[in-house]
């Protein structure tokens, strides 16, 4: 999965503005050069572009530009009479209405497209990215790390004794717990990083940073999950804990599956050591001062 940057979005907007302005200029030049006012329906092309790119607002701007064009044309070429004024008003009204309809249709189509795209990328229950999207994103980020450098760290989470929780409180309570955990991750993780439901009660956080950053984030998430109280039927309140494993991508390995294996191994160590803790894989280097603090 490739997420467009703010710079890429700005460049796309500039290109779209240039396309609409270019179409407007070209049509106006054709009409003015030949004095061919009867070809004014050619303005439908920039109107369509504006509706597709900028919805209702773009259509109204093009309609306003068309009005200015008519005013300038009549002021320079011929006297304005009542019939000409009526024709111009009717034409502008028709263009404005058509632009609004086209813009609204395009907006609805774009919204439907975004919903369909989101449903294929995210997990329905938690709202996080799904496993397939995570794998694609990890591959892209690992490729960028190999090509341009940078630090990449994976934090794998697993809810402790989740099967026991389901057996005791029911699957609907388990689903609500997963939704709460998803909301917790979305609230904590930075927009530039990625949170995904890896499968079942397991979650993955892929961040830009080293193992120390992963450890810090893992502890924040672990504490937040531990503090999450779930109110059940009958007034009962339930809590759950989570274990996590941290691993950093080794540039030059060209193998993102190794990163998953290391994070999973660190997660297993957290489970073996008593659960409700975060473990960093031995192959992921920590700053010496932090490593000394952890071992003390």
Domain limits of the chain? 6-121, 131-295
Task: Give, in words, the CATH class of 131-295.
Answer: alpha beta
What is the sign, positive or negative, of the torsion defined by CA atoms of 173, 176, 178, 184? negative
**The predicted structure's pLDDT at residue 147:** 87
Alpha carbon distance 233, 222 (integer Å): 25
pLDDT of residue 188: 92
β 202-208/237-238 pair status: unpaired
Residue 263 to residue 284: CA distance in whole angstroms: 10
Would you say residue 208 has pLDDT above 80? yes
Question: Catalytic: which of 56, 172, 176, 201?
Answer: 201
- Phi (first) and psi of residue 231, to 5 degrees: -80, 125
Alpha-carbon distance of 196 to 132, in angstroms, equals 10
pLDDT range class, residue 214, cuts 50, 70, 90: very high
Query: Is beta strand 242-248 parallel, antiparallel or unpaired with respect to 202-208?
Result: unpaired
Predicted confidence at residue 203, as pLDDT, reads 97
Residue 34 has pLDDT above 80, yes or no: no
How much is the average pLDDT of 175-187?
93
pLDDT for residue 175? 93
Q: Are 188 and 203 in contact (CB under 8 A)?
A: no
The predicted structure's pLDDT at residue 224: 95
Per residue in 84-122, pLDDT (tens digit) is: 667 667 767 776 777 777 777 777 777 766 665 555 688
The predicted pLDDT at position 105 comes to 78
For residues 75 and 171, which has the higher predicted lDDT (pLDDT)? 171
**pLDDT band (50, 70, 90) for residue 69:** confident
201 an active-site residue?
yes
This prediction's pTM: 0.62
The pLDDT assigned to 13 comes to 84
Can you read off the two tokens belonging to residue 211?
A: 């193992």
Q: What is the pLDDT of residue 113?
A: 64
Q: Is the pLDDT of residue 155 over 50?
A: yes
First to last CA, the chain: 41
Name the 3-class secondary structure at 36: coil
Contact 259, 141 (CB under 8 A): no
- Residues in the chain, how many? 296
Tens digits of residue pLDDT in 221-264? 999 999 988 888 777 888 899 999 999 998 877 788 999 999 99
- pLDDT at residue 38 tops 80: no
**Average pLDDT of the residues in 9-20:** 84
Mean pLDDT of the chain: 82
Which pLDDT band holds residue 6 (cuts at 50, 70, 90)? low
């Amino acid at each position: 999965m490739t997420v467009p940057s703010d710079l890429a979005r700005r460049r796309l907007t500039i290109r779209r503005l240039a396309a609409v302005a270019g179409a407007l200029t070209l049509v106006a030049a054709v009409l003015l050069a030949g004095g061919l006012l009867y070809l004014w329906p050619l303005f439908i092309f920039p109107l369509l572009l504006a509706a597709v790119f900028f919805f209702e607002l773009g259509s109204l701007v093009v309609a306003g530009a068309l009005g200015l064009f008519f005013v300038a044309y009549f002021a320079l070429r011929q006297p304005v009479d009542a019939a000409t004024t009526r024709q111009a008003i009717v034409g502008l009204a028709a263009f404005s209405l058509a632009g609004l309809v086209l813009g609204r249709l395009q907006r609805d189509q774009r919204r439907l497209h975004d919903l369909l795209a989101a449903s294929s990328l995210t997990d329905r229950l938690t709202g996080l990215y799904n496993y397939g999207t995570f794998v694609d994103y990890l591959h892209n980020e690992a490729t960028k790390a190999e090509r341009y450098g940078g630090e990449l760290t994976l934090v794998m989470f697993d809810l402790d004794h989740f099967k026991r929780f389901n057996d005791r409180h029911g699957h609907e309570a388990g689903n609500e717990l997963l939704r709460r955990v998803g909301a917790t991750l979305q609230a904590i993780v930075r927009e530039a990083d990625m949170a995904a439901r890896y499968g079942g009660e397991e979650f993955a956080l892929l961040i830009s940073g080293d193992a120390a950053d992963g450890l810090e984030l893992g502890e924040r998430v672990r504490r937040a999950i531990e503090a999450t109280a779930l109110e059940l039927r009958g007034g009962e309140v339930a809590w759950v804990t989570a274990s996590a494993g941290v691993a950093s991508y080794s540039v030059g390995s060209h193998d993102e599956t190794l990163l998953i294996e290391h994070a999973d191994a660190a997660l297993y160590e957290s489970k073996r050591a008593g659960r409700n803790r975060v473990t960093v894989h031995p192959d992921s280097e920590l700053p010496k001062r932090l490593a000394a603090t952890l071992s003390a």
